[in-house]
Structure 1
Amino acid sequence: MIHINVPDTQTLVEKDGITKYTAFNIHINGWFHAAVRFSHLYQVAEMIKQRFGSKYNGPDFPPKKLFHLDEKQIEDRRNKISKYLSTLVQNTDIIRSSLVEKKFLELQVNFFRTTSTHVSVDIYLGDGERIVVKCNIDSPTNVVLRQLSDQLGIKDPEIFLWNFGLFMACPKDTDGIDFNVLCVRFLRNFESPYISLQTANMKSTGHGIHHKLVLRKLIWDPRIEEALFEDSTLTKLLYKQAKNDFLVGNFEAVRSDIVDRLRSCEKNEDHIQFLRLCHLQPSYSYEILADCFSDNPRPNTRCSIKIGRRQLVLGFENGEEAIYRATRIRVWRISPPEEDGPMIFQFEYLMAKDDFEWVTLYTDQAIILSLLLQCVGTEILQEHRNMSIEQQLMTNGGGSGMSVFLEPSKAPLILKPTLSVPEDDFVETETNIMPNTSSQTERKTSSHSIYSLRSAKSAITSIEETSSLDRGDPLGVADLYDTSNDMFTTISDALPLHNSAFANITDDDL
């Protein structure tokens, strides 16, 4: 998933050191990606027109101008570029194309203006072990991961790409004794990990924050981990992360004798038994995110947040927890921040029979939270396909792309499935969105159409009939948000945001 924002422009100087030009600042997933001149964006638009022709039916890319533009005209051009990109990413035939992916990578590489072609990338495993990967500066994420798998001696790189992801992370504490990191960005194949890391650190080092590239598992169900035990290298990767997560307190053993057994397994280097003991601990296999604020149980309540095991868990200062099962989440959405506040992540949850309520979180990690929720949804979807875990690992499921837009009016975003299923399998319901009760976030809201699937089976059938365009995204299943505005955009090369996995909610889920 790619969230694109073109918030402003900047004036850059040509290589001759004299000529100046205006560049449009592109931010992806909340991070600066590149400053791109109009002519380069125009070339991308022309390539898309030639390659895809009538498949794109949105607003035209702004035309060239013979004369110099004033500030008002530049701002108008920026808005038109945003609207063009917003419509472009709604077309799954275009956004799933490797050409679009490659073009975004080229824009990033061209802006970076490096004199080196070959670089080294430090990637940290789950326990902090550093692996140096030599690659080209324009190597995208999947290429870097494949080179890492070769260095680690992994038998099947496809299974590795399926189950592990590359994240940008920063330390949770300042003492640096333990490898305790917070994942802040999920790197995808439209970007160079080396450039993304360098660009982020150039902006954050002055604030005392140094980011690293870390490898994290993208699986939460212990059964899937069991299926990976046949590969000793993959088992060791899982073990390294599990051991470190236990060391830094990301999960706890339920009994003291379990702690002793874990230490014994660690001493004897019994990786499989260590992991199987971890599987028995309810708090294992969660990704811990930064603290946020919630409107539950009261407005402006500070809470911790973690996601995994097919549920979202909020922890409060009084020691209580609120557990939200993914199978009871009907829809989720991301809204732009109120002024300088954090982004808003909301999901509609089945609180009781026939009683859906919106839960609101205020967090700057809304995007990565959405991506991780997609991972959980993927596991649920695969389970509905009635496939064994081994078949899931070896089968390549395809699907459509997805888009996310944040409107300039700051209206919330609603997710709707767009799979190729009969219209009878869709239910359209009008849902009244309740205004936030916090005085800091009061805003007007209105009714929105929310689409859900009556039957996950029909959606699954359509998925199985669609082949993935990208072997680096074997879980390629995705949806569209119900909007067409221009602030934030998503290009789907990520784990799928497939709400139909949660759509078959019944009273049994209570």
Structure 2
Amino acid sequence: MHFSIPETEVRSDENGSTYVAYNIHVNGVLHCRVRYSQLLGLHEQIKKEYGNNVVPAFPPKKIFTLTPAEVDQRREQLEKYMQAVRQDPILGSSEMFNSFLRKAQQETQQIPTEEVQLEIYLSNGQKVKVNILTSDQTEDVLEAVASKLDLPDELVGYFSLFLVQERGDGGCTYVRKLQEFELPYVSITSLHSPDYRIVLRKSYWDTAYDSDVMDDSVGLNLLYAQTVSDIERGWILVNKEQHRQLKSLQEKGSKKEFIRLAQTLKYYGYIKFDPCITDFPEKGCHVIVGAGNNELNFHVKLPSDQMKEGSFKVTRMRCWRVTSSQVPVANGTANPSSSSKCDVKLELAFEYLMSKDRLQWVTITSPQAIMMSICLQSMVDELMVKKSGGNIKKQMQKKRLNGTFQRSDSQQAVKSPPLLVGIEDFSNASTFDMEDVP
């Protein structure tokens, strides 16, 4: 998750006194507004719990009213502070930090704690209505959905809640996986748009875990619905003969056999992202990126209109980072420090082992860059569990900590762990080449 404080606001409290509010954004979207005193209180709590040696530097108090320049300086310092706390493996995953963000989110949106009904969608469009509190966090809502569906406790961790935007062409955009520091009801309500919905989808990549899910009838139905949906939206490639076989299995109600056949098809289990831009193999190429099978798949249109396809294995990525920058809107000015409205430009860049002795950076410019990064990290998580001989069932029961790998610098970059040496034999790495698409 990418934390930033791109702006401040002068607001009035209930007594009519004015104060400066710092707008905390996550992935370029407003999450909450907080005062300096609130962040200072969080800082003091963290210091008390974890000690001075662990806590990053916090901007000092000022006796006199801050000038506009000092307010902006404090904004930058608080942004770096929030990024430093979030990227710390202990602080960023602490209940203290996450509960602070959840409470601030609820206060910002001015949504009182009360019982509500929240609609959660399955992959086939079916709605599941769950009764929750507006203050229930992501894990609580996921458990409520599982309970409503009668999904066994041991399978809950195989699924996650995703924020999805429905498009006018009938497709959908996976915006993000809902995190432990947010309240799903508040998150979806604050968007004020019927185009967004919360969708339940499996959160693992290795198809071997499908067997665990299919052993339960509810898990089987969820996986079957997702597979059918992915085929219908074109995420899984199917030729005429395969389509005929799948149709026959559907008519027979043979769900397990349907999934088994789908597992053999190209791009089974992948998440496809919206068309975006890449600098590989040439700058300015249009590309459709898919994440799955421990890789990022590229379907690239070259400037010459030639189509090429290739895949980048996560085990051959030495590192990756997500960077954000402010881009003025069309009628604005080219100066990002001015008061004109700016959009957030996100880029995912990874350093890839193209051949035995050659590393190369590949960049993707996409609003879904952080979602791509989260997919890469979750693939790494699974590989590391498998490599260490860990139990995936126990691992799935733990809360996924998607943000703990992040590292932020002055350019607002998010970096990955080092290369996964030992999972693949890099001495045999051959030159990477993209194939022509027929």
Q: TM-score, normalised by structure 1?
A: 0.75
Q: Is 2:178 the partner of 1:187?
A: yes
Partner residue of 1:171 out of 146, 166, 172: 166
Alignment partner, residue 336 of structure 2 = none
Alignment partner, residue 507 of structure 1 = 427
Alpha carbons 1:289, 1:304 under 8 Å: kept = yes
Alignment partner, residue 230 of structure 1 = 215
Tell me the SS of whatever aligns to 1:290.
coil
Q: Is 2:277 the partner of 1:299?
A: no
Gapped runs of 5+ residues in structure 2? Answer: 329-343, 431-438
Q: Distance in 1 between matches of 2:403 and 2:134?
A: 29
Alignment partner, residue 471 of structure 1 = 398
Tell me the SS of whatever aligns to 2:38.
helix
Q: Deviations over 1:150-180 (max 9, x none)?
A: 0010112x4322x222111112334x5xxx3
Change (3 A) 1:291 1:152: same
Alignment partner, residue 8 of structure 1 = 7
Q: Distance in 2 between matches of 1:277 and 1:370?
A: 29
Displacement after TM superposition at 1:190 (Å): 0.2
Change (3 A) 1:488 1:35: farther
Change (3 A) 1:488 1:29: farther
Alpha carbons 2:11, 2:19 under 8 Å: kept = yes
Q: Is 2:323 the partner of 1:335?
A: yes
Alignment partner, residue 150 of structure 2 = 153
Corresponding letter in the other structure for 1:357: Q
Alpha carbons 2:111, 2:186 under 8 Å: kept = no
> How is 1:269-418 mapped onto 2 (pairs within 5 angstroms)?
269-317=253-301, 318-337=306-325, 339-340=327-328, 342-386=345-389, 391-395=391-395
Change (3 A) 1:239 1:93: same
Q: Distance in 2 between matches of 1:358 and 1:123?
A: 39
Tell me the SS of whatever aligns to 1:6.
strand
Displacement after TM superposition at 1:338 (Å): 6.8
Alpha carbons 1:332, 1:345 under 8 Å: kept = yes
Alignment partner, residue 243 of structure 2 = 259
Alignment partner, residue 242 of structure 1 = 227
Tell me the SS of whatever aligns to 1:93.
coil
Q: Distance in 2 between matches of 1:153 and 1:304?
A: 37
Partner residue of 1:109 out of 91, 103, 106: 106
Change (3 A) 1:151 1:223: same
Q: Deviations over 1:128-156 (max 9, x none)?
A: 11111221111111110011110010112
Alignment partner, residue 133 of structure 1 = 130
Q: Deviations over 1:266-323 (max 9, x none)?
A: 2222221111011010221110111111111211011111111111111123342121
Q: Distance in 2 between matches of 1:67 and 1:37?
A: 16
Alpha carbons 2:32, 2:101 under 8 Å: kept = no
Select the structure with the greater relative contact order (CA < 8 A; seq sep ≥ 6): 1
Alpha carbons 1:137, 1:194 under 8 Å: kept = yes
Change (3 A) 1:55 1:472: same
Tell me the SS of whatever aligns to 1:92.
coil
Q: More deviation in 108-117 or 231-240?
A: 108-117
Q: Distance in 2 between matches of 1:106 and 1:375?
A: 27
Q: Distance in 1 between matches of 2:88 and 2:267?
A: 40
Displacement after TM superposition at 1:35 (Å): 1.0
Q: Distance in 2 between matches of 1:117 and 1:15?
A: 22
Q: Distance in 2 between matches of 1:273 and 1:359?
A: 39
* Greater strand proportion: 2
Displacement after TM superposition at 1:106 (Å): 0.9
Alpha carbons 2:316, 2:420 under 8 Å: kept = no
Displacement after TM superposition at 1:90 (Å): 4.4
> RMSD in angstroms over aligned alpha carbons?
2.5
Displacement after TM superposition at 1:487 (Å): 4.4
Tell me the SS of whatever aligns to 2:56.
coil
Alignment partner, residue 142 of structure 1 = 139
Q: Distance in 2 between matches of 1:489 and 1:316?
A: 25
Alignment partner, residue 77 of structure 2 = 80
Q: Distance in 1 between matches of 2:28 and 2:361?
A: 24
Alpha carbons 1:62, 1:81 under 8 Å: kept = no
Q: Deviations over 1:194-245 (max 9, x none)?
A: 111122x23xx4xxx7211111212222211122211111111111111011
Gapped runs of 5+ residues in structure 1? Answer: 397-469, 491-496
Q: Distance in 2 between matches of 1:488 and 1:110?
A: 29
Alpha carbons 2:109, 2:186 under 8 Å: kept = yes
Displacement after TM superposition at 1:261 (Å): 1.8
Alpha carbons 2:101, 2:182 under 8 Å: kept = yes
Change (3 A) 1:486 1:195: farther
Q: Distance in 2 between matches of 1:325 and 1:90?
A: 25
Corresponding letter in the other structure for 1:212: R
Identical-pair percentage: 25
Q: Distance in 1 between matches of 2:48 and 2:65?
A: 28
Q: More deviation in 231-240 or 218-227?
A: 218-227
Tell me the SS of whatever aligns to 1:142.
helix
Q: Distance in 2 between matches of 1:248 and 1:504?
A: 33
Alignment partner, residue 19 of structure 1 = 17
Tell me the SS of whatever aligns to 1:8.
strand
